[in-house]
Amino acid sequence: MIINVQDPSLEAHNLTVIYHRKPVLWNIDFSLPKGEIIGIMGPNGAGKSTLIKAILELAPLNSGYSKIFGKSLNEVRKKVSYIPQRQTIDWDFPASVSDVVMMGRYPSLGLFKRITKSDREIVRLALEQVNMTEYANRQISQLSGGQQQRVFLARALAQQADLYLLDEPFVGVDASTEAAIMQLLRTMKNEGKTIVVVHHDLHTAAEYFNWLVLINASLIASGPTEKVFTDELLRNTYSGKLTVLSQVGDVMREQNFPVREK
C-alpha cells in the first residue's frame, strides 16, 4: 500500500543506493504529508538510515531524486534539520552544551557570521524546551546519553526548521527521556512542523506516528498508520523476523521482564 499526497513535505522518486554492488535501497518512491509525525521502520539493515542520508545528499545516489517542499535540498536547506544517530557523534569534541545548540543558528547567521542577542535568546529557549538550561555550560562529554540526545534536539529546535529528520532518537535513552522527547515532537507537530523519525520499536509505533513508511531495501508501504500498521504489511516488511519479534514480546510480557531501564 502506497498512498501519495498532494503538496507533500518530502517526496522521493526512484531512489536507489548501491554499496559494493549490493542494493541498500532499491527504487524507493513515496510522498509524505506536512505537519505530521512520520515513522520510517524496517528490520536491521533495511536501509532506513541510508534513506535519510540519501535525501540529505549524504549518501551517493545511483538513481532517482528527492524534493523537499517541492524544491531541491539546496533551495530549502535552512528549512531542514537533521539529528543523526547519537553513536555517530564525536562526544569528546571540546564544546559546551550552549556551543552545540548555537550550531543550529549557523545556517541563519548573516554575512559576517555574528551571533546576535536574538540568536542567544533562541538558544536559551531551545535549552529550556528540552529541560537542559542548567547544563548550558557543561561539556557535552560529561552528559548522559539521554542528556546528549536532548542537546541535539535543542540544536535542531534552534535552527527553527520546518522539516526535522531524526535517526533513531530513542536509542540509548531512558523511558522518561523518551516520553519527554515525544511530548516535544507532538508540540512541534501542533505548530505545523513535519517530523520524520527512523524508529525500530514496533510496540510504540502506533502510539507515536500518524504516518508510517515501511521499507526493507525496497518500499513496502507508505500511508496513515491505521492503514499501514497491519499484520500483512508488517510480515512483508520483516519477513520471518516479525514472528521472532512477536514471540520475544509475548515472553517478555508473560514473564514481566522490564522493557527498559526506568
Find cell 552545540 and name the residue: 100
- When pLDDT is averaged across residues 204-227 and rounded to a whole number, the result is 94
CB neighbour burial string for 227-240, b if at least 16 within 10 angstroms, e if fewer: ebbeeebbeebbee
Question: CB neighbours (10 Å) of residue 158?
Answer: 25
Three-state SS at 146: helix
- Domains and their CATH numbers in the chain: 10-255 (3.40.50.300)
Return the pLDDT at 248: 40
Q: What is the rounded distance in angstroms from the CA atom of residue 112 to the CA atom of residue 132?
A: 29
Return the pLDDT at 84: 86
Distances from the Cα of 98 to the Cα of 126, 134, 135, 148, angstroms: 10, 10, 8, 12
Q: What are the residue ranges of helices labelled H in the chain?
A: 48-55, 73-76, 97-102, 117-129, 145-159, 175-190, 202-208, 225-228, 231-238, 241-255
Q: Are strands 218-224 and 163-167 parallel, antiparallel or unpaired?
A: unpaired
Q: Which of 183, 235, 238 is nearest to 208 (CA)?
A: 183
Return the pLDDT at 252: 41
- When pLDDT is averaged across residues 248-258 and rounded to a whole number, the result is 46
Return the pLDDT at 88: 66
Q: What is the largest CA-CA distance in the chain?
A: 61
- When pLDDT is averaged across residues 212-226 and rounded to a whole number, the result is 94
85-117 pLDDT tens trace: 876 666 677 788 898 899 888 877 765 678 888
Contact 26, 145 (CB under 8 A): no
Return the pLDDT at 246: 47
- When pLDDT is averaged across residues 122-144 and rounded to a whole number, the result is 89
Is the pLDDT at 250 greater than 80, yes or no?
Answer: no
Angle between helices 241-255 and 231-238 (to 10 degrees): 110
Query: pLDDT band at 48, cuts 50/70/90?
Result: very high
13-28 pLDDT tens trace: 999 998 887 888 989 9
Return the pLDDT at 79: 92
